Amino acid sequence: MSNTLFITGATSGFGEACARRFAEAGWKLVLTGRREERLNALCAELSKQTEVHGLVLDVRDRKAMEEAIANLPPSFAKLRGLINNAGLALGVDPAPKCDLDDWDTMVDTNVKGLMYATRLLLPRLIAHGRGAGIVNLGSIAGNYPYPGSHIYGATKAFVKQFSLNLRCDLQGTGVRVSNIEPGLCESEFSLVRFAGDQERYNATYAGAEPIQPQDIAETIFWVMNAPAHININSLELMPVSQTWAGFAIERNKA
Degrees, nearest 5: CA angle 153-159-161: 105
Instruction: Write the CATH number for 232.
Output: 3.40.50.720
In order, the DSSP letters of 61-75 are -HHHHHHHHHT--GG
- Contact by Cβ (8 Å): 233, 164: yes
State the pLDDT confidence band at 247, using cuts at 50, 70 and 90.
confident
Let me know if residue 78 belongs to a domain.
yes
What is the tens place of the pLDDT at every residue in 93-123? Answer: 999 999 999 999 999 999 999 999 999 999 9
253 found inside a domain: no
The whole domain housing 226 covers: 4-237
In a domain, 112, yes or no: yes
Tens digits of residue pLDDT in 126-159: 999 999 999 999 999 999 999 999 999 999 999 9
Alpha helices in 27-143 (DSSP H): 36-46, 62-70, 100-107, 114-128
List the catalytic residues: 152
The enclosing H or E element of 146 equals: none
What's residue 72's pLDDT? 98
The structural domain count of the chain equals 1
In a domain, 126, yes or no: yes
Residue 186 falls within a domain, yes or no? yes
Its pTM stands at 0.95
Domain presence at residue 73: yes
Q: How far apart are CA 113 and CA 100, in angstroms?
A: 18
Q: What is the pLDDT of residues 23-77, one digit of tens each?
A: 999 999 999 999 999 999 999 999 999 999 999 999 999 999 999 999 999 999 9
State residue 250's pLDDT score: 86
Order of strands, sheet of 176-182, starting from the edge strand that comes earlier in the sequence: 52-56, 28-33, 4-7, 81-84, 133-137, 176-182, 234-237
Domain membership flag for residue 127: yes
Question: Is 195 contained in some domain?
Answer: yes
